[in-house]
């Protein structure tokens, strides 16, 4: 006899949330969806989901309610605001926030959820839109072990090897660690490839030479090919990278942890935002150095940059 699957509500059908929702449908979970963009809801309904008219309704009809939203303010509104998850959640059910937000906000929301007799996990993800589509996102989870184990198969429908890293808030703290490394990695190879291009090296040959050595990384392999093609279609927007570093710097400030390199990259992101690049992919961090050096990391650009 096949195992009965819990009903899932999904709130937030953006770049990441839409493919994550579709993977839940593919895994056979009864799904109710809500988003402020009707077209996104209609697309999921056409794929087999049920339409919810509010965050509250998504929670009312679900055993597990998930949010995937841009930042703390949107999550608080969807959960604690009028017609929010808190108004619809039932005792014994679970709320999972898969957004990347301030860990203190996760802890504050958890207290309100638990006061209703329900449970919460914070489970932010790492990975591009492509990883959301193929269901291979990294998922870092904060919460109680028994709730994590209850929801593991749901999480595994959207990502690969979800890891419980601690209590509520630990998921988002781990995501901040991840995002610092991601942003600094992009900034580092941007500087390095601009130097090489300015010196007359072919960026494609440099990439092939170093990608499997000590300087290689997932981000290098993902981003350098698209940078060389000058493709900055967002998989993860500069605005979201800036938001994550803001949260990291705020947490670090409260803990008296100096993050000088993170602070520097955040200044680059602010400058790029002021130049209208907030909706470009975060690989556009390279533009900051390119403009200073008057050199582009472009396929076949070696002679042009000499």
Find out whether 163 and 140 touch, Cβ atoms under 8 Å: yes
Look up residue 100 and give its two tokens: 């990347």
Phi, psi angles (nearest 5°) of residue 120: -140, 145
SS3 at position 160: coil
Other C-beta atoms closer than 10 Å to the C-beta of 160 total: 14
Options 18, 22, 131, 175, the catalytic residue: 175
List the beta bridge partners of residue 86. Answer: none
CA 113, distance to chain mean position in Å, is 23
Question: Is 175 an active-site residue?
Answer: yes
List the beta bridge partners of residue 137. Answer: 159
Look up residue 86 and give its two tokens: 């808190």
Find out whether 248 and 180 touch, Cβ atoms under 8 Å: yes
CA nearest 59: which of 7, 22, 111?
A: 7
In this structure, is the dihedral angle defined by the CA atoms of residues 58, 62, 68 and 70, taken in order, positive or negative?
positive
SS3 at position 10: strand
Phi, psi angles (nearest 5°) of residue 9: -110, 135
List the beta bridge partners of residue 97. Answer: 67, 122
Q: How far apart are the C-alpha atoms of 184 and 257, rounded to whole Å?
A: 17
Active site residues per annotation: 175
């Amino acid at each position: 006899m096949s195992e009965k699957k819990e009903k899932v509500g999904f709130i937030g059908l953006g770049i990441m949330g839409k493919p994550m929702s579709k993977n839940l449908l593919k895994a056979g979970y009864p799904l109710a969806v809500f988003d402020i963009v009707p077209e996104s809801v209609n697309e999921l309904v056409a794929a087999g989901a049920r339409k919810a008219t509010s965050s509250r309704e998504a929670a009312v009809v679900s055993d597990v309610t998930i949010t995937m939203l841009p930042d703390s303010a949107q999550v608080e509104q969807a959960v604690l605001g009028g017609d929010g998850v808190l108004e619809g959640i039932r005792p014994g059910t679970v709320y999972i926030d898969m957004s990347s937000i301030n860990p203190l906000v996760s802890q504050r929301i958890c207290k309100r959820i638990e006061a209703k007799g329900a449970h919460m996990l914070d489970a932010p993800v790492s990975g591009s839109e492509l990883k959301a589509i193929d269901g291979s996102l990294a998922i870092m989870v904060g919460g109680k072990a028994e709730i994590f184990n209850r929801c593991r198969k749901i999480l595994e429908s959207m990502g690969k090897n979800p890891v419980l890293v601690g209590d509520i808030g630990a998921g988002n703290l781990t995501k901040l660690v991840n995002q610092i490394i991601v942003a600094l990695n992009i900034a580092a190879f941007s500087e390095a490839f601009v130097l090489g291009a300015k010196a007359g090296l072919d960026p494609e040959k440099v990439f092939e030479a170093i990608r499997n050595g000590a300087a290689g990384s997932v981000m290098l392999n993902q981003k350098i090919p698209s940078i060389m093609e000058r493709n900055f279609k967002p998989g993860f927007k500069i605005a979201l990278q800036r938001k994550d570093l803001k949260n990291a710097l705020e947490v670090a400030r409260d803990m008296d942890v100096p993050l000088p390199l993170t602070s520097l990259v955040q200044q680059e992101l602010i400058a790029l935002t002021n130049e209208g690049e907030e909706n470009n992919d975060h690989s556009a961090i390279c533009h900051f150095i390119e403009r200073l050096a008057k050199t582009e990391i472009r396929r076949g650009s070696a002679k042009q940059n000499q």
